[in-house]
């Protein structure tokens, strides 16, 4: 299990589906982005940061949460 900090959870929960994936909102603080990337919860894809499948599983939108 990955430990998620409050600021990281807020960014995960603010992600929106853009037709291709769950994209993070603009303006995410660099330190939060770096922590999420290090944990494998986000990736840079097609010009924006988006949740990985593992990252999505930590979102409030995921059925299992």
Q: How far apart are CA 48 and CA 3, in angstroms?
A: 24
How large is the average pLDDT for residues 11-34?
Answer: 94
Q: What is the mean pLDDT of the chain?
A: 93
Residues near 20 by Cβ (< 8 Å), separated by ≥ 6? Answer: 46, 50
Q: Is pLDDT above 80 for 64?
A: no
pLDDT surpasses 80 at 60: yes
């Amino acid at each position: 299990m990955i430990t998620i900090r409050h600021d990281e959870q807020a960014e995960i929960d603010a992600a929106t589906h853009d037709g291709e994936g769950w994209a993070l909102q603009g303006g995410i603080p660099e330190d939060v982005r770096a922590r999420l990337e290090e944990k494998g919860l986000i990736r840079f894809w097609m010009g924006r940061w988006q949740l990985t499948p593992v990252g999505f599983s930590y979102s409030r939108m995921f059925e299992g949460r």
